[in-house]
């Protein structure tokens, strides 16, 4: 896994977009340059939606922990895994 910490700042890549139809519980991320699309769950969409502007991982972790009833360690591990995946896919970039 990538080395990520609370102070790292991430943002959606210029050629990335996220879309949601909450009533149908459908969530996606798209790479508009490659045409790749990713089906998201509600949790991944919640996390990615916080990176429309450059945002620290710590700030998103705080929002996540306030929204979801999960143990701190497990929540942080899950969020960091999701962020690493979408950094590798080019949906998110470091600032």
How far is residue 20 CA from its own chain's centroid? 14
pLDDT digit string, tens, across residues 46-86? 999 999 999 999 999 999 999 999 999 999 999 999 999 99
pLDDT value at position 9?
A: 97
- Taking the CA of residue 18 as centre, how many other CA atoms within 13 Å lie in the half-sphere pointing to its CB? 24
pLDDT digit string, tens, across residues 25-47? 999 999 999 999 999 999 999 99
Indicate the Cα dihedral angle 36, 34, 52, 21, nearest 10°.
Answer: -30
Which pTM value belongs to this model?
0.91
Q: What angle do CA 13, 18, 21 make, to 5 degrees?
A: 175
């Amino acid at each position: 896994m990538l080395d990520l910490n609370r102070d790292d700042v991430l943002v959606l890549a210029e050629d990335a977009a996220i879309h949601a139809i909450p009533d149908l519980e459908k969530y996606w991320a798209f790479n508009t340059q490659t045409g790749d699309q990713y089906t998201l769950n509600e949790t991944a969409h919640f996390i990615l939606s916080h990176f429309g502007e450059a945002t620290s991982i710590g700030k998103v972790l705080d929002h996540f922990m306030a929204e979801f009833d999960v143990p701190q360690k497990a929540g942080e591990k899950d969020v960091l895994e999701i962020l690493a995946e979408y950094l590798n896919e080019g949906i998110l970039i470091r600032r």
